[in-house]
């Protein structure tokens, strides 16, 4: 198939492609326990995810007794990362319809990328352990370009476009938070938001081009976005 409107589709990882809430929650609570803090229930962890593990930890500390020094936050963050790396795909799964959706995009000749604020090495590891790496032509992490370059800045999505061969490339992005929609908008790329992720605002208020409730809807939604762009 060659008439699909996008050459590249990029995905956020946590809360978009993968439901990683269980493993993130266990790692977060491990770090909090080192500071003598109470565990946070899984459903409450959902509200803390977004912007990377350090931000998640900082938010977790705030809601369990208050912030700590930057030095201590760095220590706890490293403990969280070390624990998470060793338990990265225990509960984590693709969201329903994810495998068929990835196969459907590939059948249409689409290159698929991951652009996440998770550390690149952890993103690479999680896909390797889940035997999903073959789906992606590139995996870009929040640290790939160095400090201050992660979403909602457009830099990582722009890097995705560069790695795909430069312009002109028809690209779309899929995410679940304002970090994703903000980065896509800044990069000039349409963004589809998933309502089943770790949304930091109500899905319809994320500023996405469209919102889907299941991955079965993604390919038809991208086709509609592409058709509307051609009409405009």
Indicate the pLDDT class of residue 1, thresholds 50, 70 and 90.
very low
How far apart CA 86 and CA 30 sit, in angstroms, is 12
How far apart CA 132 and CA 99 sit, in angstroms, is 9
User: Of 55, 54, 135, which is closest to residue 98 (Cα–Cα)?
Assistant: 135
- Please give the positions annotated as active site: 12
Query: Does this model's pTM top 0.85?
Result: yes
Average pLDDT for 20-46: 95
For residue 165, what pLDDT is reported?
86
Is residue 97 over pLDDT 50?
yes
Indicate the pLDDT class of residue 230, thresholds 50, 70 and 90.
confident
**Cβ within 8 Å of residue 218, ≥6 positions away:** 101, 174, 192, 212
User: Of 126, 104, 208, 182, which is closest to residue 194 (Cα–Cα)?
Assistant: 208
Is residue 30 over pLDDT 70?
yes
The 10s digit of each residue's pLDDT in 135-188 is 999 999 999 999 999 999 999 999 999 999 866 789 999 999 999 999 999 999
For residue 181, what pLDDT is reported?
98
Q: Which helix (H) or strand (E) holds 219?
A: helix 218-231
Average pLDDT for 110-116: 97
- Per-position b or e across 97-117, b if 16+ CB within 10 A of its CB: ebeebbebbeebebbbbbbbb
Tokens standing for residue 20:
């990683």
Cβ atoms of 107 and 1 within 8 Å: the answer is yes
**Given its phi and psi angles, is residue 203 left (phi above 0), alpha (psi -120 to 50 degrees) or beta?**
alpha
For residue 2, what pLDDT is reported?
59
Indicate the pLDDT class of residue 131, thresholds 50, 70 and 90.
very high
Q: Measured between alpha carbons, how far is residue 24 from residues 7, 113, 183 in Å?
A: 32, 22, 23
3-state helix, strand, coil in the chain (%, to 5): 50, 10, 40
Average pLDDT for 188-192: 97
Average pLDDT for 24-36: 97
In this structure, are strands 111-115 and 8-11 parallel, antiparallel, or unpaired? Answer: parallel
């Amino acid at each position: 198939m060659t008439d699909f409107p996008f050459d590249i589709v990029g995905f956020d990882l946590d809360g978009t492609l993968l439901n990683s809430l269980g493993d993130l929650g266990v790692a977060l609570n491990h770090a909090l326990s080192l500071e003598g803090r109470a565990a946070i229930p899984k459903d409450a962890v959902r509200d803390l995810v977004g912007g990377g593990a350090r931000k998640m930890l900082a938010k977790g500390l705030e809601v369990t007794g208050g912030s700590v020094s930057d030095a201590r936050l760095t220590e706890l963050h490293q403990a969280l990362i070390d624990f998470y790396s060793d338990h990265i795909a225990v509960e984590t799964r693709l969201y329903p319809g994810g495998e068929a959706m990835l196969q459907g995009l590939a059948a249409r000749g689409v290159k698929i990328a991951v652009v996440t604020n998770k550390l690149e090495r952890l993103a690479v590891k999680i896909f390797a352990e889940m035997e999903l790496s073959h789906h992606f032509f590139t995996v870009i992490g929040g640290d790939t370009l160095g400090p201050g370059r992660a979403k909602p800045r457009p830099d990582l999505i722009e890097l995705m476009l560069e790695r795909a061969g430069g312009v002109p490339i028809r690209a779309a992005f899929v995410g679940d938070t304002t970090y994703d929609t903000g980065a896509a908008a800044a990069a000039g790329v349409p963004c589809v938001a998933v309502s089943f992720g770790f949304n930091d605002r109500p899905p319809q208020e994320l500023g996405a081009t469209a919102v889907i409730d299941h991955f079965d809807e993604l390919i038809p939604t991208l086709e509609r976005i592409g058709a509307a762009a051609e009409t405009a």
